Structure 1
Amino acid sequence: MHNSQIPTDGSQPHCETVFQPNSGLLKTLTPLQGNERIRHLLKYFGLRTSLVRLKVIDALLTAAGNDRRLGVRGMHSHLQALDIPLSFLSVREVLKRLCSEGVVVLNSDKSYSLHPQAEAVLMGKIEA
């Protein structure tokens, strides 16, 4: 049986050129969603992505969207309610690290919120 796609003379088969969009261009045109925008934020601040950081920042975003502020205990309770098994100490240490790196700020009422620069990165106003 003869297969016209397999060359018999040792040459490479002819392949049709298929248009492949520039993935970098597509990324700039489509807004970052979900964890991707948090990963972008962490990268901007020179931090590695970890599950704890993703969950803590996501919880801060959720709280801010609901006009709430969370302290360490509130953050830990919020994550436990979502069945995310993180210890109180892990949550506290992540918040302290995010604070020291300028991603998060500690408010006078002992609650945490995103730094204005971090918000600008998430909104796409600042590029990495």
Structure 2
Amino acid sequence: MKNIILLCIALSCVLLSCKKEENNSNNSSRTLTYEISGNFTGTFFAAYTTATGGTTNEQITSLPWRKEITYTSNVTSAAIALVGNGGVAGQKVTLTVKRGNQLVGTPIDVTANSSGAFSETAPVVVF
């Protein structure tokens, strides 16, 4: 039940996020690569935009984790959110997002709170 609640919070963050990532005119790639590393030992999920514009949830069972997605031309933006629980306070994960071969923004470091949980959303990438 706690996983479902945390996942709903993460999805809400993804859907309500308004921050627009600056578009580098030299990088028009429609391929995003999400990479997660760290030492978090609890259960966690990534909720992200699929290649056709839908949303999916994937349980991450081991680190490092990598997902590369090439988006169809009708998809106008993409996002990812991470939710975890059952870890140890202070454990960390780092999320990087690349568009083509270029880093989008800076890596996002997330630290589990005193309950061993976290929830974090990356800025939306607009195509």
Task: With the length of structure 2 as denominator, give the TM-score of the two structures.
Answer: 0.29
Task: With the length of structure 1 as denominator, give the TM-score of the two structures.
Answer: 0.29
Of Structure 1 and Structure 2, the greater strand share is in: 2
Of Structure 1 and Structure 2, the greater helix share is in: 1
Ranked by relative contact order (alpha carbons within 8 Å, sequence separation 6 or more), the top structure is 2
Considering only CA atoms, is the larger Rg found in Structure 1 or Structure 2?
1
